Amino acid sequence: MTLHYVDIIFQIIAFLFAISVHESAHAWMANLRGDPTARMLGRITLNPIKHIDPVGTVLLPLIAAVTGFRLLGWAKPTPVNPRNFQNPVLDDVLTSVVGPISNLVVATAATVLLVGIKLTSPAGRAAVYDPVHAQSALGPLCFLLFEFLEINVLLAVFNLIPIPPLDGSHVLRHFLPESIRQVYDMAGIFGLMAFIYFAPNLLSKLVDPVLRIFLVVLNA
């Protein structure tokens, strides 16, 4: 199996885990804030089958694998009934932002593990800085951890963009007048598709500075 296919497999593993953590976090927080809808549907789970969306979890990652573009996608949205929230605005915001936060937690955990491997031995250090050519089992492990780091940062930043239906929009929309909010919600999906297909470089400019913070910590 060539390195290219190993990279694709590792990306898919990291992506499925990332979206499962993300959606589970939404479901967990919604339940904590008074809405049991997602919990009752079994969405507080790391089983990716529960979170698969035909387009965002299957089609887009396959396109990325074939074309070599940066892997990007989404899971089946976590069902939330705001009427069950005691504080609709605060609870909606908390339920939304906990998804990206959970991805940053995973990225942090991957970085901590990489730092730990780097400090264990010369072989560990070599595996972290050049996982492809490392002469030990630590090489594939570090390769996978780097995928976990990059993909979780990507999903966290992407979902914080304030374009409906992304998580960041659930923060911004509460500050908009009702008339503008309705247009904002309806036009969001078109803005999202335009962003994905017409401004891919902008996403990199948003993701790369955040990813660089983790790499600075790793290289310290």
The pLDDT tens digits of the residues spanning 43-56 come to 999 999 999 998 88
Confidence of residue 179 (pLDDT cuts 50, 70, 90): confident
Nearest to 23 by CA among 40, 41, 45, 53: 45
What is residue 71's predicted lDDT score, i.e. its pLDDT? 76
147 in catalytic set: no
Question: To the nearest 10°, the Cα dihedral for 194, 199, 203, 209?
Answer: -150
What is residue 1's predicted lDDT score, i.e. its pLDDT? 60
The one-letter amino acid at 151: I
Of the ranges 22-36, 49-63, 196-210, the best mean pLDDT one: 22-36
- b/e sequence 81-116, b meaning 16+ C-beta within 10 Å: eeeebeeeeebbbbbbbbbbbbbbebbeebbebbbe
What residue segments make up the domains of the chain, in order of their start?
3-159
Which of 23, 147, 150, 178 is labelled catalytic?
A: 23
